[in-house]
Amino acid sequence: MPVPGHRLPGRLALPLAGAAALALLSACNPLGGAGPTSAGTGTTSAASAAGTGSQGTGTQGTGEVQAFPVPTAGSDLSNIAAGPDGALWFTEQGGNKVGRITTSGQIAEYPIPDNAIGVSDAGPTSIVSSGGAMWFLTDIGEGVYRITTNGQYKAFYNNEVNTAINLAPSSSGGVWLMMSHGDGVGSDGTALVLIDPGGKLTGYPADHPNSIDVIALAPDGSVWYNNEGLSLNSVTESGQQSGDPLSSTSADQVSGIAFAKDGTPWFTEYVPNTLNPDDGIATGGSGAVGDFSGGTAHITPVGSQAPDTGIEPYSLVAGPDGDLWFGFSAVGGGEAGIGRIDPATGQVELASTDPYDPTDIAFGPDGALWFTDRSHNDIVRVPVSDLQFQSAAGG
C-alpha cells in the first residue's frame, strides 16, 4: 500500500456564494436552551453479573455486559463515538437529540432545536470527535453541528452543495464531509468538503464519484472513501487523490474503513440480501473483510457461506489492542454480534452479542467496547474479555 493509481492534483475552492452561504446559525447556546436531561439505569445480560445503581451509576466488574436504557423512548439510536472528555457520545435520530454517557453509565441528552436549520424532524446521525469537540450531521444532511463537551454548539448550513451523508474527523481539528452523490458529485462538482474549526469550507472533486458512502481519516492525515465496491480512494488536504481497485463488481458494498497501527487500510464489505418477489423471503447476503498489502487487495469471506445465510459487517474501528473490530448483522436468522480482525495474521473471529444487536460500535477510554442498540433502545458496554469468539473465515 498504496497501490499505484492515478492522481488528481489541486483542489476545488467553493464559489464565494457557497462559502458565504455557510451560515453560523447558533453560537454558544446550550442545545435545546434548557440544558441536558439526565437519566439511565444500567442492566446486565442474563449471563453477566447483575446490578447497576440509579442514574446509570454503580459497580462495573471487568466481566459485566451492561445495557443502559436511553431515557427517550423510541430514540432510534444511530452512531456512537468516544469524546475528548472521557465519555461516549451518541445520536438519537428519532429523538432529535445527542446523548452523552459516562463510563459509569450516567446518561445526559441534549435536544436539537427542531428548526435550527429550517428543517423539521432532522434528527442527528453520524458523530465524530475532532478538535476537542463533537461534530455531527442531521439525518438528511442539511445540518452540520459542532457541540462542545459542556453542551454549547454551533450549527452550520451550506446550500451550495448537495447534502452531506457522512463525516470524518480531519487532522486539523475540523471535519471532512462526504456529499450525497446522485450522479456522483454535488451540483457544483464538489464531492468532499473540508470544514475547518472556524467554519471555512474547501471543496474537492471526487476522482471516483460512484456511490460514495464511507469515509475515514488515515494516520497520515488523508481521508479515504469508497467507490461502490470497485475501489478505495484517498485525498489529501492539498488535493492529491489516488484510487486502489477492490473487485470487478459494484454489487459489493463497502461498509467500513479503518487502519491498522502500521497504516495499512482495512475494510469491510457485503453483498446485500435480496427479497424474492414471490414469497418475500430474503436470499443471498454475504460479508467479507479485506486489506491492502504488497500492492494488492486481499479479500476474505467471513461467516457462513451457505445459501441464504451469512453476515453483513459494518462499523469497522481500530481497537486499543491493535486489532480491528466491527459489528455485524445476521442473514438467514442467525445472531448479530461483534467481529475481530488480527491485522498481523488476517485471522477473523466472530462473537454473538445476543440478545443485543449492535447498531454502531466504539471503544471507550475504559477499554471496553460500547455500542448503540437501536432495537432495544440501549447503550451497551461489553468488556472484550466477555466475548466468546469463533473463527469466521469462509471458503
194-219 pLDDT tens trace = 999 888 888 887 655 555 678 999 99
Judged against a pLDDT cut of 60, whether residue 41 lies above it is answered with no
Nearest to 112 by CA among 80, 87, 84, 146: 146
Q: Do the domain assignments include residue 89?
A: no
Confidence at residue 77, expressed as pLDDT on a 0 to 100 scale: 96
* pLDDT tens-place string over residues 262-274: 999 999 988 665 5
241 lies in a domain? Answer: no
pLDDT of residue 37: 52
pLDDT at residue 48, rounded to an integer: 24
In this structure, is residue 310 part of a structural domain? yes
Would you say residue 82 lies in a domain? no
41 lies in some domain: no
**Which pLDDT value is given to residue 243?**
75
Domain that holds residue 279: 251-378
* Spatial CB neighbours of 262, under 8 Å, sequence gap ≥ 6: 343
Average pLDDT rounded to a whole number, residues 130-158: 84
β-bridge pairing 360-363 and 66-69 = unpaired
Average pLDDT over residues 320-333: 90
User: Domain of 370: which CATH number?
Assistant: 2.120.10.30
pTM of the model: 0.81
More reliable by pLDDT, 203 or 163:
203
The number of domains in the chain is: 1
Please give the Cα distance from 335 to 376 (Å, whole number). 15
Residue 149 in any domain: the answer is: no
C-alpha cell at 363: 471503544
Tell me what the mean pLDDT of segment 371-377 comes to.
97
Residue 300 CA, chain-centre distance (Å), reads: 22
Residue with cell 468532499: 192
pLDDT number for residue 114: 59
pLDDT digit string (tens) for 74-107? Answer: 999 999 999 999 999 999 998 989 999 999 999 9
The answer to the question of residue 192 being in a domain is no
Q: Please give the Cα distance from 288 to 85 (Å, whole number).
A: 34
Q: Specify if 57 maps to a domain.
A: no
